[in-house]
Amino acid sequence: MSEIRLLEQVSSFLTRNNGHYINGRAVNGSGSERFPVVNPSSGEVIAEVNEGTAEEVNAAMDAARAAFTGSWAQTSPMERGNCLNRLAELLQQHREELAQLESLCSGKIIQLSRLFELDQSSHFMRYFAGWASKISGETMSLSLPSMQGEKYTAFTRREPVGVVVGIVPWNFSIMIAVWKMAAALACGCTIVLKPSEFTPLTLLRVAELAKEAGIPDGVINVVNGSGRTLGPLLIGHPHCAKVSFTGSVPTGIAVGKEAMADNLKRVTLELGGKNGAAFLADVTPDAMVNGILEAGYMNQGQICAAAERFYLPKSHIDEVLQKLAQRLSQLHIGASLDESTEFGPLANRAHYEKILALFDKARQEGNEIVYGGNALQGPGFFVEPTIIRAKSAQDLLMREETFGPVCTFLAYEEEEELIAMMNDSPYGLAASLWTNDLSKALRMVDRIESGTLWINMHNFLDPALPFGGIKASGIGREFGSAFIEHYTELKSVMVRY
Ligand code: TXE
């Protein structure tokens, strides 16, 4: 046990009258309702946050619109990039404070909060900062012949879409918000962020740091409260030009429908799924175990790209599952703020109950629970990391996203059968293929239906590489240059002379 001491800034932040961040200042909120923030490691309420109403939504959307047409439009692309770089620097300076706050709210182990929520977020922020001054259109010669000797020239412009509504889930509440905010700001858009009601605090602090970085008031706003209530108010607001959503498939579909129904508002959806990982027979059992740990159990499996369906050669599966169970039994399970913890709690009670219900369903379906499958004693939302051996590809645990530390395994005999199994899903966010035969892997690349395909790795995101789902895992891409298309409109300008 080596629980870290909370920084003074974190303790005092928790006792503040927290609510929202609108037009450059913390706002308590007009309504009287407050909702609790629960520490998943202890089950205790650690703070309360004001539940937003239409009043906060309207104020945030108005502020974002005013900044879009005013201060942010007048900020040069180079200076927008400088602002993002300064914010990246401030995230680093406040690394420990934000990491502790994040771990307290989400149950993410402290090392992951530091590495992903802060260090990775800063890298992503800097990557987008570089794009701010490089967003451009094209000039082109027109194709049709002139009628009477007149001439034509034409060019395209990439213009910011306007106010973006960024709806963020609880699993990486800083990092996913940074992806949306940095992409929007680099393109000249402004943003209203709606954090998950389970993790409402860290973005309030990030918004304060954005002001310190010189980002004008109104460019970044945060409204807290229930997604069901605030979501439709934000999406349906006349100033909302685009929605960028990350979360579950059913909510994503509802968000997409609302955006479309409201005058075809632009929408990108980064949803989950049921990602597959396929191991070919040339990989050693120990390497398979390492790959499975990387792909399936990090952050208690609460990563949208994590693998949940694993296909192992029939000749190897018994040995691999036995070795994997051994490794899982050695994991140090504990509180998120304990430096020695390798595996923390699930992020919230609702999710914990969902995972326990899935364990019951697996038992009812006659799946073999090779390891785990139970809640852990004590306060907090802890479950065992779990290995399930499926009977067939039709089993519920091979089809339904758990979003937890629940990896389900199926044996295969032929590689052709393997590809069919990998593609047998309505989803397609990410997949991985593990083999020492790179030539074989490359021949499989175009046959696997997935937005991202990793070879001999899993769960690595890089800002230079587009990320997003195919099939029911989403619409649109984040990162790379692909993001620009989703935060700008293309205007064609044609001139006769
Ligand atoms: O997610 P939601 P929840 C999965 C995970 C989890 C389940 C439910 O399995 O157990 O989803 O979690 C906002 N209009 N994932 O309820 O509903 C909500 O406030 C607009 C997987 O937390 O997807 C939050 O800010 N917004 C996933 C965000 O949407 C609405 C990550 C995500 O919430 C809304 C998270 C509405 N009608 C959960 N309803 C992944 N794969 O990345 C809710 N929201």
| Model pLDDT for residues 356-415, shown as the tens digit of each residue | 999 999 999 999 999 999 999 979 999 999 999 999 999 999 999 999 999 999 999 999
Whether residue 276 is predicted with pLDDT greater than 90 in this model: the reply is yes
**Ranges of H-type helices in 344-430:** 349-364, 396-399, 415-423
Pick from 190, 187, 158: nearest CA to 65: 190
**Residue 464 Cα to ligand 1 middle (Å):** 26
**Residue 277 Cα to ligand 1 middle (Å):** 24
266 lines ligand 1 (CB under 6 A): no
Task: Output the DSSP codes for 58-72.
Answer: HHHHHHHHHHHHTTT
What is the reported pLDDT for 423?
98
Where residue 1 falls among pLDDT bands split at 50, 70, 90?
Answer: low
Q: Which protein residue has the closest C-alpha to ligand 1 atom 14?
A: 231
Q: Which amino acid is at 235?
A: I
356 lines ligand 1 (CB under 6 A): no
Domain architecture of the chain: domains with CATH: 8-272+474-496 (3.40.605.10), 275-462 (3.40.309.10)
Mean pLDDT of 258-271: 98
| Model pLDDT for residues 174-208, shown as the tens digit of each residue | 999 999 999 999 999 999 999 999 999 999 999 99
| 304 belongs to the catalytic site | yes
Tokens encoding 66: 């005013």
CA 380 to chain CA centroid, nearest Å: 24
pTM recorded for the entire structure:
0.97
| Model pLDDT for residues 203-240, shown as the tens digit of each residue | 999 999 999 999 999 999 999 999 999 999 999 999 99
Q: Which protein residue has the closest C-alpha to ligand 1 atom 16?
A: 248
What is the reported pLDDT for 316?
97
What is the reported pLDDT for 52?
98
Degrees (nearest 5) of the Cα angle 124, 126, 129?
110
| 3 belongs to the catalytic site | no
| Model pLDDT for residues 150-183, shown as the tens digit of each residue | 999 999 999 999 999 999 999 999 999 999 999 9
Where residue 349 falls among pLDDT bands split at 50, 70, 90?
Answer: very high
Mean pLDDT of 460-476: 98
